[in-house]
Chains A and B, each alone.
Chain A
């Protein structure tokens, strides 16, 4: 149990375009989802936290107008990178925690990640 998927697994786009990444919890209800980015040979850096039906909370230094997060349902969150530039190229990973029936899924389970390359 506790499976999280991401789509797409990789995307290449031109500078100035917008890219949407989906994160889905497949077998539990994700009351909270987290978005991270990871640069090569570095650890995960939290970008934002989103609770279902609420506005996302962004970490210091993360531009909320550039990285739009929507958590419209208990199984889906999306991250839209608007007007992408080459410096936005990175590995974006989501995670989720929530409930499955009466069980609290307290652990954050991670998706497989999305590799974004902006040309």
Chain B
């Protein structure tokens, strides 16, 4: 059974204080690892897809990296608008996504 574990559960940051979120996974046949952002009461918003170990992708203050067992989402110099729940999901070859529980990030001005 595919498993995705995200840590920490919650992260409180001061504006400008960089940090990293972790996503560790076990999956039989990884097709891709996805990062989404979810705001309260809304659907997840796509951020990144990573397909192979060593791959990195960046978008504004966010950078995602992938190894064979885990992925990191680095938030550089966060702003209050980066406050959200960040979800990690693994996709197996049947295209189904298995989600982690998420990390709720709060950035204080």
Contacts and interface: CB of A to CB of B under 8 A. Distances in A.
Do A and B interact with each other, yes or no?
yes
Interface of A: 2, 4, 6, 32, 34, 42-44, 46, 49, 91, 93, 95, 97, 106-113, 115
Main secondary structure of the interface of B (DSSP, over half): strand
Given A43-B87, A43-B100, A93-B43, A107 B49 contact: yes
Contacts, number: 50
Closest 8 A-B residue pairs measured CB to CB? A110-B43, A43-B99, A113-B43, A110-B44, A112-B43, A43-B101, A93-B43, A44-B99
A43 B100 CA distance: 7
A12 B45 CA distance: 25
Interface string B77-94: 000000000010001000
Contacts of B102: 43
A109 B46 contact: yes
A49 B96 contact: yes
11 contacts: A34-B96, A34-B97, A42-B101, A43-B102, A107-B49, A108-B34, A108-B95, A109-B46, A110-B46, A113-B43, A115-B41
B42 interface: yes
